[in-house]
Chains A and B, each alone.
Chain A
C-alpha cells in the first residue's frame, strides 16, 4: 500500500458529514488520508467527479450518504 494514500470523500451534509463531525467531537482518530468534501446530498455526485478525481490522483473515493 502507498505510504500516503489520498481518499477523497464526498460527504452528504445531512448524514455522513455530520458523522465526520461527531467523530471529531468524540476525539476519535482517523487517517489524514481522508479528504472530506461537503455536498448537499450524495446523489449530487456525478460519475464524472469520480473519474476526474482518479485521473487527478485519488487512490480511493468514499461517497457517504
Chain B
C-alpha cells in the first residue's frame, strides 16, 4: 500500500488565516519535491475542531483511505485529543497522525505574515517527515480492582475510609498501633470553635461498624507492587508476624506525623522531672487524670506557652501549634482561676476564618502575649529576647511547648516500598502542590493528612475527602484501565544489563530480569518520559512515538 498523506490546514477563524498565508501554504506543501513519490492531499478548513471540521476530517480519512494524517492547527494541548478521537472513528491508527502547532508557536508570535508563512511551511514539512516514520500503536485494556488500601487509621485515614465505603468500595484500613484515631485519640477536646471530640469517637464507631471497611490493627505494609487498578499487597501483623495478601486498585498514604524532640535542640534543656510538657502530653494528662497538674500533683499558679520550637531547624511553620496552645491555655484558665499565663511566640499563625476571634478571646481573658526574637529553656527557667531587644528571664511553674511536627520514620519506609518521593523535609511529595495536591507521581497512590506536611484536623479531613473523591472518579468498578502506550521499550538483543535505566527511572517502572540479565519495562507504570532512553549507553531503549528516528526527521526539517 502506497503512502497517502492527508495534510489539513486549519484557519482557526482569523486566528491563523489572518496571520499566515493559507493559500501559499497549500500551494507550496502540495508541490514539495521530496515527497513527490507520495500522494499528498492538502486542504484548508475553516475550523477543524468544530463539529463540521471533525466530520470533514473523518470523511477525508475514510474516503481517501489515508495512511497518515497531519493537522496543521493549534497547540496539541488544545486539540490533540480531539483529532485522536476522530482517527479512532476511522481505519487510521491514531498514532499515524500528528498535529503541527502553527498557531501558538507560529502565527501568534511572528508579526510578519511572510515570515510566519515560511515558518508554518517549515513546521508542516517537519510534521510530514515525522508522521512518515510513525508507527501504529495499540492500546491495551486491563481489568482493574476497585478496592482501596488505606495506610494509617488517624483522622485522614478514617475520613477517607468513610468516603469510599459510602460508595460501597471495599476498604482495607491498616493501622500500626492497636488504636484508631491517630494522635487525635489522645486529645481530650478538639478546638472548641471547630468541632467536638465526640465527632471523633462517632467516626471511629462508624468505621468499626461499616460492612465495607476491614480494619487491620497492629499491621504494617510489607510489600507492594503494581499500578493503578492492580496493586498486589502484602501486610504484616506486628505481633504475630502473620502476613496477609491483598489486591487493591488504589492506595492512600495517611500515616500521620510525630513531634520533634525539643531536647535535641541546643537551647532547650530539660528532663522528665521538670514541669515541661508538650501540647500532646497535656492532652494525654487530661485524658488520663482529668486535670492538669504539676509533676508533684499540685496546681500550677503560672504557666508559659512557647511556640515555634524547632521551627528554624525544621525549616517550616507547623501551622497548628498556635491554635492548640491557645486550647491548652483555655484548659488552664478554666481549671485554675487567676492563673498567670504568658504566651511567647515568634509569629502567630491563625489560618481559618474563626481563628482570629478565638485568639482575641484569650486577650480578653488577661493572657499576656509577647512576641520574641529568641527563646531558650533550662528546666523551667526561660530566657527570651523581646522585639525591643530586651533580655528577660522568667521561671513559671509550668512550661508548655509546641515542638515542630515532623515526618515519621514510616514515611521513609513507605517511600522505599512505594517509590513515592519524599520532600526534603521528609514529608511525602505531592504531584503538584496546586494542580494535584493529594496525588503523587504514581497513578493510584494518594497522600492525605500530616504525612504530606503539617496540617490541622480539618485540613487533613479535606485532603482525605479529596483523595477519596479522586479514587472514586479514577477507579470505577467494571471500567478497564488503558495504560499509556507511548512508553519505553527494551530491545532485548541490545541490552547489556548495565542497569543504568533502573537508576534513572523516576517511576520505578523498570525492573531487572536476573535470569536473562536484562532490564524489563513495566509498561503499565512507565509514563514515557524517555529518561531511560536518553541515558541508555547501548541504545537498547526506545521511546514509542518519540523514537530517535522520528525526532531526527523533525531536527532535519528544522535545520534545512
Contacts and interface: CB of A to CB of B under 8 A. Distances in A.
Interface stretch (B303-311, B489-497, B547-555): B547-555
Contact of A39 (B118, B126, B504, B530): B530
A40 B75 contact: no
Nearest to B533: A44
A45 interface: yes
A40 B529 contact: yes
Given A32-B110, A44-B546, A46-B548, A37 B533 contact: no
Contacts of A52: 552, 555
Contacts of B109: 23-24, 27-30
Interface residues of B, number: 38
B534 interface: yes
B133 to A, nearest CB: 14
B503 to A, nearest CB: 12
Contact of B551 (A20, A29, A37): A37
The size class of the interface chain A forms with chain B is: 20 to 34
B558 interface: yes
Interface in A19-65: 20-21, 23-25, 27-30, 32, 35-41, 43-47, 49, 52-53, 56-58
Contacts of B103: 24
Contacts of A44: 529-531, 533-534, 543, 546
State the main secondary structure of chain A at its contact with B: mixed
A40 to B, nearest CB: 5
A39 B533 CA distance: 12
Contacts of B101: 21, 36
B303 to A, nearest CB: 51
Nearest to B108: A24
A37 B527 CA distance: 19
Interface of B: 75-77, 101, 103-111, 115, 118-119, 122, 126, 486, 504, 527-531, 533-535, 543, 546, 548, 551-552, 554-556, 558-559
Given A6-B559, A45-B534, A56-B559, A40 B551 contact: no
Contacts of B76: 13, 38
Contacts of A18: 77
B558 A40 contact: no
29 contacts: A6-B559, A8-B559, A21-B105, A24-B106, A24-B107, A24-B108, A27-B109, A32-B115, A32-B118, A35-B122, A37-B126, A39-B530, A39-B546, A39-B551, A40-B527, A40-B529, A40-B546, A43-B534, A44-B531, A44-B533, A44-B543, A44-B546, A46-B533, A49-B552, A52-B552, A52-B555, A56-B556, A56-B559, A58-B559
Nearest to B110: A32
A1 to B, nearest CB: 18
A36 B105 contact: yes
A13 B111 CA distance: 25
A31 B531 CA distance: 30
Contacts of B558: 6, 8, 35, 37
A40 B530 contact: yes
A2 B529 CA distance: 34
Contacts of B554: 37
Given A35-B122, A43-B534, A47-B534, 6 more contacts: A8-B559, A21-B77, A24-B75, A35-B558, A40-B543, A53-B555
Contacts of A8: 555, 558-559
A10 to B, nearest CB: 8
B486 A40 contact: yes
Given A41-B531, A44-B531, A24 B546 contact: no
A8 B558 CA distance: 7
A65 B530 CA distance: 13
A6 to B, nearest CB: 6
Nearest to B487: A40
Contact of B104 (A20, A37, A47): A20
A20 B110 CA distance: 13
A46 to B, nearest CB: 5
A41 B104 contact: no
Contacts of A29: 109-111
A41 B551 CA distance: 13
Contacts of B105: 20-21, 24, 36
A41 B555 contact: no
A56 to B, nearest CB: 5
